[in-house]
Amino acid sequence: MIHRIDGSMLKEIVLSAAAAIERDKQHINDLNVFPVPDGDTGTNMSLTLGAAANTIADLPYLSVGKMADAMAGALLRGARGNSGVITSLLGRGFARAIRDFDDMDGADLASAMKMSTETAYSAVMKPSEGTILTVSRVAAAKAEEAAAKDPSFEYVLEQALQAAQRALPETMNQNSVLKKAGVVDAGAVGYVIMLQAALGALRGESRHEISQPRDKADFSAINEEEITFTYCTEFIVEKNGLQDTTDLKTFLSERGDSIVLVDDEDIIKVHIHTDDPGDVLHEALRYGAFSMVKVENMRLQHTEKIESSMAQEEPAPPEKELGFVAVCSGEGMCAAFREIGVDCIVEGGQTMNPSTQDILRAIESTGARSVCILPNNKNIILTAQQCIPLSSKDVRVIPSRTVPEGISAMIAVNPDGSVDEAEEAMNNAVRSVRTMEITYAVRDAVYDGCVIKQGDFLALDRLKPFGTDSDIYSLLRKLAHAAADGSCEYIGIYYGENVTQEQAEKAREIFEEICPEAEINVLDGGQPVYYYMISVE
């Protein structure tokens, strides 16, 4: 048994884990339960770990603590999608536990795995069980138990892997969506693959000897959240010694939404939408003194603000008060966002989620003191939120889940107003948009009794499967009737790169026939993946 490892072996473990996820990413992607082209769990984990691997690959010999710090920093900035952000949080906790160590044994590994899991749980508000978080927690608990029996690194890692493998099938029973789909959690599979690769690297085995994940998924459900609380509350607490923020996380989750909690070595930074900011701030005082507090009434724009900068270096003097960043793809879509006031476009979207670093660069390039971000994809919102503590600017993430939501948000904003007014107007606009889309099914699936065949046109309404057909115009008619049944004063039709102008005009005619009262506009968006994105307001 290998008792201890140094920084060189930790580097080999990270490189092996990155290689394993890259190799198995499509198998992990196939476990995704939603049958549309997506950024996908495997792809996002691979890109995130790849950023860490590229950073540390050529580093000279370092202690395990310094090697882990380099890894964690690269993971955070390279994080893509929800799965990538959670992977980066696991890495961050691991690095914090061994920061001052020259080498480490199994007991140190157990402590690092425990902090790794705690860090991820503490940052993800309302975490779901039956996910990568669950399996990482089980593995960490077994590691702690094993270290008490034999503190050799190899033994503890082996025991943690076996526990994770046993916990993996249980994710299906812990999550109703996975149970209906008949698959285990994709992120949890990635976690097990990383542990397998780590043990293989430790034993000098080939990086290619990684077991494959299992069957493909049949369907999915989409979780939707709306911002319903009055006060946007942000604060930074200088820690007074209390290190465990578990109780604070629980407290916040019961009192609001849109929660981001970043627990760093010396500070805690929190963003929450709540109806009782006084209660939240009173609880936060238990953890130390405030260095920044900001409370905004998002309806009345009444703001009281006391801030201190978190920047490690002085940014260039801003040229304006308010800037905007949008994530999108397609020449027409990007041009549309620029025309309505977006300062910087981050290329990305459904099949290519941008990294935290990509969005952060865009924020810093706006030359504005305050920046509103439009992720325009539900899988990019968490990535964008990671930029809040990394930027010296006042960053607001508008939870736009689709491109039409982002366009409506930009149209609603007054660029000469305050950031508080902009955030309120944009959030209201996002909530008022009904998005319909037509893409194609990338796998066979069953969703609420609806049979979806690979290759069929697939219509989505509010991000949920609406229907399938081999005839795209039949689907457009069905969507038009659904739009006509609701509030329908304005309809924007954005057609994609594989749709001709003649075909788009036929789509316009269908909506004009069925929704004669609505104002209808057609734009060449040039977006990939989606034949049509339709905004109904």
Instruction: Say how many Å lie between the first and final Cα of the chain, rounded.
Output: 64
Distances 444 to 14, 251, 393, 441 between C-alpha atoms, Å? 35, 42, 45, 7
pLDDT value of residue 10: 94
Average pLDDT over residues 326-349: 89
pLDDT at 508: 94
pLDDT at position 318: 53
| Opening angle at CA 471, ends 465 and 476, nearest 5 | 60
Percent of the chain at pLDDT exceeding 90? 45
Q: Per-residue confidence at 125, pLDDT binned at 50, 70, 90?
A: low
User: What's the confidence (pLDDT) of residue 315?
Assistant: 44
Rounded to two decimals, what is the model's pTM? 0.61
Q: Which fold would CATH assign to domain 4-202?
A: 1.25.40
Q: Both tokens of residue 233?
A: 């509350």
Separation of alpha carbons 333 and 187, rounded Å: 31
- Positions of E strands within 135-227: none
Amino acid occupying residue 451: V
Q: What is the pLDDT of residue 304?
A: 34
pLDDT tier at 309, thresholds 50, 70, 90: very low
pLDDT band at 350 (very low <50, low <70, confident <90, very high): low
| Domain positions in the chain | 4-202, 231-297, 434-536
Domain boundaries 231-297, corresponding CATH code: 3.30.70
For residues 461 and 402, is the Cβ–Cβ distance under 8 A?
Answer: no
The predicted structure's pLDDT at residue 454: 82
Quote the tokens at residue 6: 């140094």
Span 10-31, pLDDT tens digits: 999 999 999 999 998 888 887 7
User: For the segment 176-226, what is each residue's pLDDT rounded down to a tens digit?
Assistant: 767 766 778 888 999 999 999 999 999 887 543 333 333 444 333 333 333
Q: Which residue has the tokens 């020259």?
A: 102
- Nearest Cα neighbor of 230 from 170, 262, 275, 173 is 275
Q: How confident is the model at residue 165 (pLDDT cuts 50, 70, 90)?
A: very high
Q: Write down the mean pLDDT value for the chain.
A: 83
pLDDT, tens only, 421-476: 999 999 999 999 999 999 988 777 776 667 788 888 999 999 888 988 999 999 99
At residue 288, the pLDDT reads: 84
Rg (CA), the chain: 24
pLDDT for residue 216: 44
**Which residues are 458's β-sheet partners?**
439, 468
Token reading at 416: 């000469």
Residue 242: pLDDT band with limits 50, 70, 90: low
Q: Are 42 and 24 in contact (CB under 8 A)?
A: yes
**Which tokens hold the place of 31?**
């476990």
Of 63-67, 102-106, 485-489, the one with minimum mean pLDDT is 485-489
**314 pLDDT higher than 50:** no
288 contacts 242 by C-beta, under 8 angstroms: yes
CATH class of segment(s) 434-536: alpha beta
Q: Which of 142-156, 270-284, 410-424 has the lowest mean pLDDT?
A: 270-284
**CA-to-CA distance for 484 and 83, rounded, in angstroms?**
37
SS3 220: coil
H or E segment to which residue 365 belongs: helix 356-365
pLDDT at 346: 92
DSSP assignment string, 25-90:
HHHHHTT-SS-S----HHHHHHHHHHHHHHHHTT--S--HHHHHHHHHHHHHHH-BHHHHHHHHHH
* Per-residue pLDDT at 485 exceeds 50: yes
